[in-house]
Amino acid sequence: MPQIIFSCREESSQLAWSELQRGGWGLSLESWLQKGVGLASCPQDFAALAPAIQASRLLFVQHIFPVDTVITNYLAPEGSELLDKALDSFALRMSKTAPFAIQLRRAIGLNDSYQGELRTLLQLYFIGNGFSHHTRYPEQIISGYVTSTSLYLGLSLASQNLSSWNGGHVAYALRPDTISRSEFKLLEAIECFQLSLPTQGVALDLGAAPGGWTKILLERGLKVLAVDPGALDPRIKAHPQVSHYAMTTQQFLRTYRSTPVNLLVNDMRMDIIPSVELVNAAASLLAPDSLLIMTFKLPGSKPFAAIHQGLSLLQQEYSLAHQRQLFHNRQEVTIVAIKSPGR
């Protein structure tokens, strides 16, 4: 039976597996290769399963890839023969006009050198056979999960894997001008959901302190109304395009009556329902078709019920566009919605 490997945040393993089960695709969990990485078998092949998973907008599954072959003792001569055969069969299915990448993850505790050697070997094989390599923007991906004895290997299109990053692990470098790690959540949402943000006008940032999201919005050319009783980083506070409202969102919404807003973001540390009530109240400030990007902070119990309640409340004012626990989300999921017309 065909197999897949799926990835999610470690602490969301059970949530991810339960939504894969609820999908009704007949998946059976064979084992957890590690926390957050599951091996499952399914009656349909990956070409049919991947679009179905994509369309069902799972919240907690971040990455999937097919297991086309499992090679045991891949370092021994009989293993390397099987590996050669697997690579030959992948090459026959691959296009020479679309860039490829090798994405290998290793089991916890496995020496990095195994994975490194294997990656080089695979890359050289495909480059030597006339395929073009692109680490960051590949269109076809040979994915692998490496343990000390076994190699799970599969070929798929980047568009089928839910994320074109290895295992869904999105990497952004900390820079001297990074204000907070929260920035990465917004950058990832923009990249992962391919959002086009306005390049001029006003953004309203609820729960803005210390200012990571505000910084990203400023870099995109927006003026930012940064609402938070907490302090902004001095570099953000001093920016001429930032107005800091040092108050709660509730206070801000009672008093603000000025320019319309073109983008609303909300990363407030707050339960889902009150947080949604506030963005619903803020909808009257938004220009038509404005985008909302927000995080839902997950409760300790019954997260699905809380998320669904929040999403249905949100739909009083917005149409849902995307929802997913991103790699940089911790106990939260990221929601993207568009202000509904005529409201």
265 vs 11, 20, 270, 299, CA distance in Å?
26, 29, 14, 20
How many CB atoms neighbour CB 240 within 10 A?
Answer: 7
As measured in angstroms, the least distance from the Cβ of 181 to ligand SAM is 8
As measured in angstroms, the least distance from the Cβ of 232 to ligand SAM is 8
DSSP label at 160? Answer: G
Of the pair 15, 282, the CB lying nearest ligand SAM is at 282
Nearest to 122 by CA among 83, 174, 164, 161: 83
| Stretch 302-331: interaction string toward ligand SAM, x if CB under 6 A | ------------------------------
As measured in angstroms, the least distance from the Cβ of 24 to ligand SAM is 36
**DSSP assignment of 87-142, as one string?**
HHHHHHHS-SSS-EEEEEEE-TT--HHHHHHHHHHHHHHHHHTTPPB-SSS-SEEE
**DSSP assignment of 217-236, as one string?**
HHHTT-EEEEE-SSPPPHHH
Of the pair 30, 271, the CB lying nearest ligand SAM is at 271
Whether the Cβ atoms of residue 168 and residue 327 lie closer than 8 Å to each other: yes
Note whether 212 binds ligand SAM by CB under 6 A: yes
Note whether 230 binds ligand SAM by CB under 6 A: yes
- 185, 215, 297, 339: the catalytic one is 297
As measured in angstroms, the least distance from the Cβ of 272 to ligand SAM is 13
262-286 as b/e: b if 16+ CB within 10 A: bbbbbbbebebeebbbbbbebbebb
Nearest to 205 by CA among 123, 291, 274: 291
Note whether 280 binds ligand SAM by CB under 6 A: no
Q: Which of 249, 262, 290, 329 binds ligand SAM (CB under 6 A)?
A: 249
Note whether 183 binds ligand SAM by CB under 6 A: yes
Note whether 150 binds ligand SAM by CB under 6 A: no
Per CB under 6 A, the segment of 79-87, 168-176, 265-273, 279-287 that binds ligand SAM is 265-273
Q: Which of 248, 315, 331, 340 binds ligand SAM (CB under 6 A)?
A: 248
Q: Which two tokens stand for residue 134?
A: 């692109």
Applying CB under 6 A, the residues found at the interface with ligand SAM are 179-180, 182-183, 206-213, 227-230, 248-250, 267-270
Residues belonging to the active site: 297
